[in-house]
Amino acid sequence: MTHPHRLHATAAALSLGAARGRLTRNAEAEAAQIAAEALEAPSVLRSTVYGGRHASGGHSDPTATAYLVADRPFRVNQWQALADDITAHLANLAQHLPAAGRDPLDRIRAAIPAMRPEIAHATTTALVHLDEIARRKLRTGPDRSPLRGVACPHCGERQLMVQTAGPIDAWTVVCATGRLCAGTGCGCGMPGAVEGVAHIWWRADVIGAVAGAAPTHTE
């Protein structure tokens, strides 16, 4: 099974991946909107903001027209700016990882299974920070849904949440009670249980344990 720090890092990478996807979709829509506005800008300005001057100044004054066009700066695509900023931070995080040239978040995610736990923990912190920035702008919370009817492997309460970003076989489960791991002897079944870390399991393992099946992740 997977060390909890690596599980948290994987979950954070998938969550950020989902948020970046939404930023990109919004950026594309915004780019189309800005392009449309740029085409319309001169006539819109003439007919609204400066409409009252047409009677005296006339449409044919080339100086006035040039001024109107230049005075209308293109709106910044804020979605694209944020997406680019996050990608730059990720590239910085990934600078020592293999496969340079590929998307930095893909490279980070690919490296997580081999990361030392403390590196995975630091990676989680960085990814969660970027994810929170993205989701604040998107006005959306974490991608989570309740895992109904299943008791927490640690505390026994039925308040488990599935973290649903990314592909289903990479989904993880956390306990909404927020009870932290007590480390060795905690009884949570997490390998390499670390005192003070939020409990986390692969979804397939939690469901498999309920069904009496063997854990599916053995790394």
Near Zn ion by CB under 5 A, which window of 18-26, 29-37, 101-109, 146-154? 146-154
Q: Which of 68, 122, 126, 186 binds Zn ion (CB under 5 A)?
A: 186
Q: For residues 195 and 179, is the Cβ–Cβ distance under 8 A?
A: no
Q: Is 155 in the site for Zn ion (CB under 5 A)?
A: yes
Near Zn ion by CB under 5 A, which window of 36-44, 134-142, 179-187, 203-211? 179-187
Q: Is 112 in the site for Zn ion (CB under 5 A)?
A: no
Look at residue 208 and give its three-state secondary structure: helix
Helix axes 104-111, 4-47, angle to 10 degrees: 170
Near Zn ion by CB under 5 A, which window of 84-92, 128-136, 140-148, 190-198? 190-198
Residues recorded for the chain: 219
Closest CA to 41 of 78, 63, 66: 66
Q: Which is nearer to Zn ion, 24 or 177 (CB)?
A: 177
Q: Is 188 in the site for Zn ion (CB under 5 A)?
A: yes
CA dihedral 150, 152, 157, 162 (to 10 degrees): -60
Main-chain dihedrals φ then ψ at residue 162, nearest 5 degrees: -90, 130
Q: Which of 154, 170, 203, 206 binds Zn ion (CB under 5 A)?
A: 154
Least distance between Zn ion and beta carbon 186 (Å): 3
